[in-house]
Structure formats: C-alpha cells, structure tokens
A and B are shown apart, each in its own frame.
Chain A
Amino acid sequence: MELFQYPYMQRALIGALVIGLAAPALGIYLVQRRLALIGDGVGHVALTGVGAGLLLNRSPVLVAVIVATLGAITIELVRARGRTSGDLALALLFYGGIAGGVMLVGLSDATSANLNAYLFGSLTTISPQDLTTIAVLGAAILITMLALRPALFAVCHDEEYARVSGLPVRTLNLLLAVATAVTVTIAMRAVGVLLISALMVVPVATAQQVTRGFRTTMTAAMALGLFAAGAGVWVAATADTAPGASVVLLAIASFLVVAVAAAAWRVLRRRAVPAAAPHPEPHEVVLR
C-alpha cells in the first residue's frame, strides 16, 4: 500500500477510477444499440489524432479529442443512413485511423515507447494537467449519461418510437457519438486505445447477467467498472504488471465469475423448487 504515497500513483488511481465509472455509464447505451465495438473503432481514429498532436507539438490528448469526435460523427452519419456499404466505410475509417496514427507518430520525434503509451495505456505517466482533463471530462460524461438516461434509453431502445415521441433523435445520437469520442480519448491514457472498448462493454455484460432492469444494470456496471479500475491499479502496483491490461483482465475475470455463478444459481433454483414451473404459454388462438 505504501506505493500509493507517491503522487504519480495517486494520480494513476484517481484517473483509473474516474474512467472506470464513466466508461460503463456510456457503454450501456452502446451495448443496447448493438454498437459494442464502436469504442474500438473510435479508438483507432483517435490514434491519428495522437500522431498529429505529437507531430505538431500540441497536446496529443487534445488533438485526439478533436479527431476522434470528427471520426465518431462520421461513423454515426454512416450508421444513420443505414446503407449496406456502412460496414465497409467503417472498416476504411478504422484502419485508416490506426495506419495514420502509426505513420504520423513515426514522422514525429516521438519514440515507439510513446506510441505504446497510447496503444496500451500508461497510467503512471499521467501529469497533474492530464488528471484535471480526465476528471473534468469524465464528470461531464457521467452527468450527461445519468441526467439524460430516460431520453437516451428511449432512443437506444426503440429509435422509431423516439422519433414519433418528438425527441431530438439525431442530436441525441450525435451526443452519444461525441461522448464516445471523449470517453475514448480520456481512457486512452489509462487502458490504451486497444483496450478501451473492454472497459465500456465488459462491466455491462457482467451486470446484465444478474440484473432485471436498465437502471439497475447501469448502476451495477458502474460499480463493476469502479472495482475493476481500482483493483487493477492495485494489482499493477503490487505485482508490477501493465495497469491497462490488469484492469481489463480483472473486468473479464469478474464477468466469468458472475456468469458461472449466475448459471449455477439458475440450476440450483430449478432443482430446489421443481414444482414452480413457469406459467404455461397462453393460447395462440381463440377456440369457439
């Protein structure tokens, strides 16, 4: 525990906790609209922003926020048009993003260690300014996702119904796209662009094994994200492992534990009360 006396470890822990809380709060909407891997794609695009930032000697995180936001908006517009070529357009964007990032980082004076810091995260090198950015943007994401839950739930659950309800569907979709880009970029320093999606999606997948409603799933996913982030940083500090990978592996381990426990619980309950059969299906037709 004495490792956490050092300010850089404290910053690592706080940064990870903020992201552990914010990423699943956004991720639940992405999972619900079957865009679980969108964070991965936006992360690829963000890498081009990192490269551009390093090349231009600007803050890589700031440039990455801008580039990732543009990328996410493009992805959303392609999705909304719903053409069959959509997945090909996304593939072009994803691979263009990562190739552009690698090329621009190579052109700059940055070393491959620099690139690795963004690909796989580098929690322990978070500066106080970085932490401020993470905390402010993370809080903004969290507040938005919680405050707009009824509207975002409606749009992700049934987009046509949301349109007939007069909701600003396009604005809400773009808001989700921008929030994804921002979350990806702030999480980039913690778990890296290649592992971001895990923190958005895995806690949600874990929570929905045992929950019955949307709100409880969201709360449980945020708690699981917080746990994975905190425990991951602690494991990384004690066992000297990569923090990003430790956080993600812990999240996946929680998923496996909960999935097995939930399955076992269902089997046990069925054996314990054999008489409590489910209601018989109602009749399909009226017989007169």
Chain B
Amino acid sequence: MTSPVITVTHGVVGYDGRPVLRDVSLAVTAGEVVAVLGANGSGKSTLIRAALGLVPLAAGTVELFGTPLRRFRQWQRIGYVPQRLGAGGGVPATVREVVASGRLARRGVLRPPGRADREAVDAALHAVRLADRARDPVATLSGGQQQRTLIARALAGRPELLVLDEPTAGVDAASQEAFAGALHAFVADGGTVLLVAHELGPLRPLISRAVVVHQGGIAHDGAVPEPAGHHAEPDHDHVHPHGPDEPAGLWSN
C-alpha cells in the first residue's frame, strides 16, 4: 500500500464569488509523477495552489502526507516551483542566493547556514546545470535559466514531493532538457511529482498519470492522453493567443 502525499477531497475554490474549481478530488501517492493538464483558465494552476494552501478552499479538504493542511508543518518535505521568478524591487540577488532560500524549510529561521546547506545548494545547482552561473545576478539569466534556478531552489531542500507550476512554459530547449534530466534523477530517487503543464514535451516519458482539468472540474484521470488534431502535429507550438485569460487576481497579490 502506497502512502498518500496529496489528497484533495471535494475541493471548491472561487475568486470574488466566481467559481474556479467546483468539487475537485485528486489523490497523489508516493512515487507517482502526476501531470495536471488543461487549457488556460481551466483552473489547473488553482488546483495545485489550493493543495499548497496558497489559495483558500471555499469547501472541501486538503491533506498533505496524511495530515490536514491546517495542521501540516513538515514543509521541508515539499519543494514548490512557481511559474516564474518575481521581479522584486530590483535589488540584485545571485543565483546562489536564490537557491539557498530552498534550505530555509529544513534549517528554520534562526540557524545560520552550515556545511550541509552549502553542499545541498551546490548539488542542486549542479543538477540543473547552472553551477557556472552561481555568482551571476538572476536578472541577467534567460527565462529558461531562471526557471532552472527556481527548480534548483526547490531541490536544494531535498524534498520528497516536487510541485511545479508550468515548469516548461516558454523555456528554451537546452533548459527543457536540463530540467527533464533533473526531474528524471529526482523520480529515480523515489521522489513524487505533481506538475501543471500546458504541454509535456520532453517530460512525457516520465509522467505516470495525467489529470485533465476542464472548466473547473476533472475531465480525465488516468493514462496520458494522446495529442489530438492539430495538437498532434510536430510543429504545433502550443501557443493559444485566443484562449481565455487566467482568472483575474490569480497572479496578483
């Protein structure tokens, strides 16, 4: 029997009274690599944000590693990779400084970083092939390299579960490969992954189960669906400028 990692039961989320998720249930168990698929605005990002407590549930429950979200404290078991790096107020930060934030869940607020922290940061930078950029300001990196920085930050905490929000959106080929490699190593070590994606690309062979979110509900839960229609064409670039925008307020504070 595999142990539960994320369990969302009858989850309901609304923004300003408008329902984004209605009665969604999702269970991820240890060792699974689950992709949440869906169109823009389908609520797929909201689902994982609700599972992490970043978005409040209007109804339903979330359990992380078998503990209700409200009482969950073992955040070092989770590595979260947001969609993109916030611009911040323009104070420079090196790649290494950003990745080192990933150790805080394990170390706590008061303890200064030690040798184990430095080694974990080195290993994470190496895993995403950014060791040579460690001292560069993150703002000078390409979008794909910034995304890898965020993945390294999550890996630095040595989590059991990685939660990734659109990790491959708008990411260059070299970064996609570096990312797929890092994820492959993580899964081979027994890690659990929940990722939101618009397209799977080089990650496809890694995915053990796909969940398709459509209009705030779960439309499919099982094998990875084959691309259909023009999506299956090799030169399809997966850009949907006509798609509805994400719900207002999703990315704003």
Q: Which of B34-42, B92-100, B184-192 contacts A (4 or more CB under 8 A)?
A: B92-100
How many B residues touch A, CB cutoff 8 Å? 53
- Known A-B contacts A150-B104, A158-B82, A161-B82; the reply to A214 vs B92 at CB < 8 A is yes
Nearest residue, chain A, Cβ from B172: A282
- Name the residue among B52, B91, B112 with the largest chain A CB count within 10 angstroms: B91
B144:A282 contact, CB within 8 angstroms: yes
Nearest residue, chain B, Cβ from A80: B253
Chain A hits for B75, CB < 8 A: 164-166
A151:B104 contact, CB within 8 angstroms: yes
**CB 8 Å contact bits of A193-216 with B (1 = contact, 0 = none):** 000000000001000100111110
Chain B hits for A162, CB < 8 A: 101, 104
Main secondary structure of the interface of B (DSSP, over half): loop
Chain B hits for A147, CB < 8 A: 110, 112
B91:A204 contact, CB within 8 angstroms: yes
Q: How far apart sit A165 and B54, CA to CA, in the bound complex (Å)?
A: 12
Judge if B231 is at the interface, Cβ distance under 8 Å. no
Which residues of chain A from 150 to 166 have a CB within 8 Å of any chain B CB? Answer: 150-151, 153-154, 156-166
Nearest residue, chain A, Cβ from B105: A165
- Known A-B contacts A148-B109, A212-B92, A214-B93; the reply to A286 vs B201 at CB < 8 A is yes
B173:A282 contact, CB within 8 angstroms: yes
- Name the residue among A148, A158, A172, A288 with the largest chain B CB count within 10 angstroms: A158
Q: How far apart sit A162 and B75, CA to CA, in the bound complex (Å)?
A: 10
Chain B hits for A151, CB < 8 A: 104, 109
Min C-beta distance of A224 to chain B, whole Å: 14
Nearest residue, chain B, Cβ from A160: B54
Chain A hits for B112, CB < 8 A: 147, 150
Chain A hits for B102, CB < 8 A: 165
Chain B hits for A287, CB < 8 A: 235
Q: How far apart sit A212 and B85, CA to CA, in the bound complex (Å)?
A: 17
Which residues of chain A from 243 to 288 have a CB within 8 Å of any chain B CB? Answer: 281-288
Judge if B179 is at the interface, Cβ distance under 8 Å. no
How many A residues touch B, CB cutoff 8 Å? 44
Judge if A31 is at the interface, Cβ distance under 8 Å. yes
Chain A hits for B56, CB < 8 A: none
Q: How far apart sit A163 and B110, CA to CA, in the bound complex (Å)?
A: 16
Chain A hits for B7, CB < 8 A: none
Which residues of chain B from 123 to 137 have a CB within 8 Å of any chain A CB? Answer: 135-137
- Known A-B contacts A82-B253, A165-B104, A168-B109; the reply to A285 vs B89 at CB < 8 A is no
**CB 8 Å contact bits of B142-181 with A (1 = contact, 0 = none):** 1010000000010001000001000000101111100000
Which residues of B pack against A, CB within 8 Å?
52-54, 73-76, 78, 80, 82, 85-86, 88-94, 96-98, 100-105, 107, 109-110, 112-113, 135-137, 142, 144, 153, 157, 163, 170, 172-176, 201, 234-235, 237, 252-253
List 10 additional A-B contacts (Cβ < 8 Å) besides A31-B91, A161-B153: A33-B89, A34-B88, A150-B112, A150-B113, A151-B109, A154-B101, A160-B82, A165-B105, A168-B109, A212-B136
List 15 A-B pairs, Cβ < 8 Å: A28-B91, A32-B88, A32-B90, A150-B100, A151-B104, A154-B104, A158-B85, A159-B253, A165-B102, A167-B104, A167-B109, A212-B92, A213-B93, A214-B97, A282-B172
Which residues of A pack against B, CB within 8 Å?
28, 31-36, 82, 147-148, 150-151, 153-154, 156-168, 172, 204, 208, 211-215, 217, 281-288
